[in-house]
Structure 1
């Protein structure tokens, strides 16, 4: 049911303990009485995990994580009761027993379900939880699947409803999730307090009118009328013969919910009042989500009738060890700052805590949600497994029922792809629960969502790039040229652009990873099991492709320069691919980078490192994802095309400038014109249109030596004399050869704190700002046009200082 946040301003109480835990051999204690006699009990936080409690006690570390799935873990606490109460367990990982005063009350078999038991009495009772060794269950004989993926081991995981995190060598550290990782709460069931049996809350946008529907069932109903309130409107609902309240409130001219790139994510509190009691039902957003074209042509979403280019990343848990719900807050702030308007929760992870979806609602970040199914041939035909999975789907949709950010529900990750790549016939990777049952389930509980069968899926093969959903690694893992991003005609990339992204120098020093030739460095690079290559080789391929330098020579002879070019390569590729995909004529309606955050310190897939610091790729995406943006595409004999995007709700009036300069920084051709772009739309201008004459902008005609080495487009707010966005094109390639560029930097006061003015006399390639004293730049890894300067805000305050450098000069400027 929809979440009940509070009754008369009082939320459900958490069972905060104090809790203790002890780790035992499998089956060593039959019940809590046996465990009570053991020594070695340590304090534990709930919600939390055994690994987090052991780490706090100095008995566990990320560097050498102690396995826990081979042990039983007991938790205990006491409760003071004064009557009947309901205890709710939001998440127990994974095979758990709930004991009350030495009596086994419930056994659980899924970490993705919530459970409840009722307790009654007066005085103190003992609550105990036992998490039985998962390895014992995995070792039991089970029917084997038709295929065995290399992603995760052992194969018997397909029978257990638990996360694959910790079971994926090369992808994720071996951190075992054991314990009550979600809250344990208690709710009084005494007389005088309304007890909600079910609540169905639907927020719909009908033209400009918000329509809020409520169906509420209460135990022991006393009043016969309920008042539903939202956004300044109210409606009185009469009880039916069964004591159920069903009705709606209409809100004319309601402020709709938008992704933050396209408008304001407006939320409206909802409350229901009955018999003098006020039930807080959370906040809703009024919006519509629909397909912009048939799924077979590539997933495309419209929000409130407006096509939205969806961009972001595949989410990874913010706290892999303790699974703290609040740990996602700063990371979601970074996602919003980077212009990400969608995050995908992949089937290899776990359903996130309520706080994640609430924050995505607040920040206007769409959520693409997988079921927790990945790669395996799951036993859907087993009635017990199927029932648990259906309950899991229902439970997730119930608790996220009011979330406007949730937009896509997907049947899992790479299940269809795995079967198809292993040569199984089409009927092995189509149909089944994801195709036949999921849509019907969603239609009943969340009819406003878009349902997709699997990721990837939709084409003649699940991994076809030009249909449905694609996992696009043409540019990236398969080392295709940048032009492949256009040639592949990607419809929607629910995964893309996986690189071994090098973190900043401070992170490398903290992790003792300053030598890129060291075994320690290599050990942190992600890899696919069974592949004869790794993702560092992928990134190094683009160092050579973009900059014409041998990465192995650089790694050996100049590690610092190697790291600088490695950071630049990932950033340049990501920015270039998304510029291509955002063209008006591009069939691509979205792209989600693999991953958002590293799961461990090192050279991981994340665009944010394990400590939460942005990498060069994050800065590149921040530039690529700007709601007001200008990009350049090379159209060969048709010259350069400049694409101006305005995703905001306001019309855009600006000046579009295009400058061609030679290797010495001299302008050889230039033009500018005033442009107007309507809200949430785009415009395209060719270089010929802007110049008003022929100029070989792409070097395609070759009527002599190329006149220019750089094309620079900028979109300028003439009234504020501010550059809104800029883009660069390198017709002769990116030349990293060191030369004098006249790089300069100085701290200046800004309205919100200190800013750094960076300038260059000649073109500066991939300018890096390395700060100390806790500050970070608002942009990094950017290019500077000849004679240009930029004012970069420094986030984090203090008295920042550091250095500025670029990859095409030996100049190092201190500030």
Structure 2
């Protein structure tokens, strides 16, 4: 009898469930949509948006082609309805809690579950969570109605006795660039732009945004950490912490003084570094909640152990602006990032992977996520963590003044809290910045004109409520990341823009200053400067839907959103470059022009280190096929700027400049170690004859920029328009020209080529008897050249890899700047 009872007890114990985990159902199937006033439903994709759904159903023409953008403006003015059905099992219905999670609704949405109104959403940047236990059934219908933003914007505008700059977009919390920008179309989306999930649970449901690993102490020997659990279940449960899959700490129950905090330690911790300074090491940390042997829930987070500081200290010149990571001053090299597509659902994981690989390949260690776009998808920040890319993160406010009523401010506060909690665990995020250019606009762009003092005071006070109160307080509450109120600190109309804070230098482009201006006016941190160029032939052919390169069609002109863009490119080209005859050559020359000016600025800023500690150009990428400031076009093709910025962003840079007939050569070292080696300088004519040379052994301090050689050019007799300086330090080389590109007396010669098959494409071997400047390789096959727009020295072989899936390669086209010298 006792034996049978024992067997019964053991049997019952072994039959107990080993877990009672939450169940998550992604509601991404069976969606339909229609215009509210229509009766016919069409298939829809979730996550998605109404433009993509209309396009996929062939109900509109592609707005990225020709002038089609103009034909689809009615879409943004209409109201749209989405619906789906989903079934649940009877077992699942027994769960105690049911919550619908809406990760992103764009924007003014009424949500109905089984014909009951459960939510009125009004912010595309917020997540919405609704308890639906009382309404959930075996068979369910979920329906959402999206109303045009213009209706709500008109109502908000009516409440004010004055006009706010810039337009109606300021009243709606959604991506501001969708209302049109000088590099992007006016395509104001609506729809379910991020996932919808139904979560069911009994006792415990741990949410990722409410689980935060806090660094209490970090040094070489110990990382003392807490896991903060806002969804803290109970003191009666047990907790286990795993680090990289190994049990690190366990608690049968948490002590009363640790409510909501699970403490653990990592000995001899590995630090997370930007990729050019070390390994961006990530720990996999997992916390498990149990009731006895039963697992109730668990959650895993990636954690990079690092410290980050924004150093703004008064000095003899003004005030510094730079980042310290793990106590090391970091020179920031990179670009400004905008959304990769006007329709976010069209951006796939492989698009993030490719673009961020291109960032690392170009020796960039920072991206600025610009404030007129979106708080990016989790995968963007995950990849920045993995690849060691620092992120300057703007809050989503750009080039405008915003309202200050209680409803708007409450909405902003919740938006900020949610996004800070979602993103705070990412070691890549080095800064939260309040806005892009709103302060500069107020102080310099004429926004105060014709306003009375009371009006100006109210608008500015509303600005301060958001950017000097709500946002910094929320950042300080939920993260240990620095906050910066506005970018730039001073506009270019204020002379302090060069000596304090970060700067946006648009004297070039907008004000027509020559590129040399960038060499004489370096700020403490350049967070924006740029110049436009045409995209690749492929993009132009797509816009026009024909094989020839036509840059005069009305459809193509619609893809230049700056009112004077074509004229400005033309003016600068006439100053520095020969003007080409054909459209194809004009595209090539525009890219050289952009690269020439921006790399002139990059190298001047890097030479000025440590006075200047950052160089971020505008802009990295495009959201549609366009003539723009990007260095990578809409199809992911590298423009000349991206190739040349890669060289200018090398960790060890050799850079020269002539000042008062004195040739000066700097070595810039961004590495943590001292470097020794041989610096070789040669003056060479375009046929390869050496006019003068010098060699010497030098050492370069870590994290430094120093003039390592000077030469009085008056002591040498040479023709500046026929000579190049070749500078080599160890494996790093640079070429320096003494005159503008259009004034060079380049020679004409054939470029010999040899192509061989490789495992992932082809190797292209090139040789010429004379200097060939800005050699551009192209092909009809889809692929990527490892180098392009490069200078081929006389009688020296260069081998370029063409990475492609094509099995044949018989259409290599070679263009060289030499052919434009007449």
Task: State the TM bucket, normalised to the shorter chain.
Answer: 0.7 to 0.9
Deviations 1:260-296 (A, max 9, x none): 2222211111101221536223201111111234286
Tell me, yes or no, if the aligned pair for 1:765 and 1:806 is still in contact at 8 Å. Answer: yes
Aligned counterpart in structure 2 of residue 605 of structure 1, from 629, 646, 651: 629
Cα drift, residue 652 of structure 1: 4.2
List aligned pairs for 1:269-284, cutoff 5 A: 269-275=284-290, 276-277=294-295, 279-284=298-303
Q: 1:250 to 1:585 in 2, by over 3 A?
A: same
1:325 and 1:356 in contact (8 A); partners too = no
Give the stretch that moved more between structures: 181-190 or 95-104: 181-190
Partners of 2:321 and 2:524 within 8 A in 1: yes
CA distance change for structure 1 residues 240 and 101 in 2, over 3 Å: closer, same or farther? farther
Query: Match for residue 816 of structure 2?
Result: 806
Higher Cα Rg: structure 1 or 2? 2
Quote how far apart the aligned CAs of 1:234 are: 1.9
Supply the distance in 2 between the matched residues of 1:196 and 1:665 (Cα, whole angstroms): 62
Deviations 1:411-449 (A, max 9, x none): 1111111110126499738743212332222111111x1
Q: Distance in 1 between matches of 2:354 and 2:719?
A: 51
Counterpart of 2:566 (choices 509, 528, 536) is 536
1:642-684 deviations in Å (ceiling 9; x for gaps): 324243x566454432110134432101123344445544554
Which residue is equivalent to 1:487? 520
Distance change >3 Å, CA 9–CA 753, structure 1 → 2? farther
1:16 alignment partner, one of 13, 28, 31: 28
Kindly indicate whether the alpha-carbon contact (under 8 Å) linking 2:274 and 2:365 is maintained by their aligned counterparts in 1: yes
In structure 1, the partner of 2:168 is 156
Which of 378, 381, 386 is equivalent to 1:357? Answer: 381
Q: Residue 268 of structure 2: SS of its match in structure 1? A: coil
Among 66, 69, 79, which residue is 2:86 paired with?
A: 79
TM-score, normalised with respect to structure 1: 0.86
After superposing the two structures, state which structure 1 stretch, 231-240 or 122-131, moved more: 231-240
Helix, strand or coil for the counterpart of 2:439?
A: helix
State how far apart, in whole Å, the 2-side matches of 1:759 and 1:145 are.
Answer: 70
> In structure 2, do the counterparts of structure 1 residues 196 and 207 end up closer, same or farther at CA, with 3 Å as the change threshold?
closer
> Is 508-517 or 771-780 further displaced after alignment?
508-517
Between Structure 1 and Structure 2, the one with more helix by share is: 2
1:710 aligns with 2:724: yes
Task: Look up the match of 2:263.
Answer: 248
Corresponding position: 1:215 with 2:217: no
2-structure distance, mates of 1:738, 1:125: 74
* 1:514 aligned residue (538, 549, 563): 549
**SS of the residue aligned with 2:601?**
helix
Report the 3-state secondary structure (helix = DSSP H, G, I; strand = E; otherwise coil) of the residue aligned with 1:112. coil
Match of 1:183 among 195, 204, 217: 195
Matches within 5 A, 1:553-632: 554=580, 557-585=581-609, 587-632=611-656
Distance 1:113 1:292 in 2: 31
Number of the residue aligned with 2:15: none
Change (3 A) 1:786 1:211: farther
Higher alpha-carbon deviation: 777-786 or 60-69: 60-69
Q: How does 1:83-482 map to 2 (within 5 A)?
A: 83=93, 84-120=97-133, 121-140=136-155, 141-144=157-160, 148-149=164-165, 155-168=167-180, 170-191=182-203, 198-203=210-215, 206-208=218-220, 209-218=222-231, 221=234, 223-231=236-244, 234-237=248-251, 238-241=253-256, 244-275=259-290, 276-277=294-295, 279-294=298-313, 297-323=319-345, 324=347, 326=349, 327-380=351-404, 382-421=405-444, 422=446, 424=448, 428=460, 431-447=464-480, 449-458=481-490, 464-466=496-498, 467-482=500-515
C-alpha distance in 2 between matches for 1:305 and 1:241? 35
SS at 2:497 equivalent: coil
Give 1:388 deviation, angstroms: 0.6
CA distance in structure 2 between the aligned counterparts of 1:226 and 1:259, rounded to whole angstroms: 33
Indicate how the Cα distance of structure 1 residues 243 and 52 shifts in structure 2: closer, same or farther if over 3 A, else same. Answer: farther
Count, aligned residues: 759
Structure 2, gaps ≥5 residues long: 1-18
Quick one: structure 1 residues 169 and 318, their matched pair in 2 at CA, closer, same or farther if it must change by over 3 Å?
Answer: closer
Whether the aligned pair in 1 keeps the contact of 2:610 and 2:704 (CA below 8 Å) is: no
Q: Contact (CA 8 Å) 1:212, 1:250: kept in 2 or not?
A: yes
More moved, 758-767 vs 215-224 = 215-224
Q: Distance in 1 between matches of 2:247 and 2:517?
A: 53
Instruction: Decide whether aligned partners of structure 1 residues 654 and 537 sit closer, same or farther in structure 2, where only a CA change above 3 A counts.
Output: farther
Identify if the C-alpha distance between structure 1 residues 325 and 85 changes in structure 2 by more than 3 Å, giving closer, same or farther.
Answer: farther
> Could you give the per-residue CA deviations for residues 42-81 of structure 1, whole angstroms, max 9, x where no partner exists?
1111111111111111112223242323211111111223
Give the conservation status (yes or no) of the 8 Å contact 1:262–1:627: no
TM-score by length of 2: 0.85
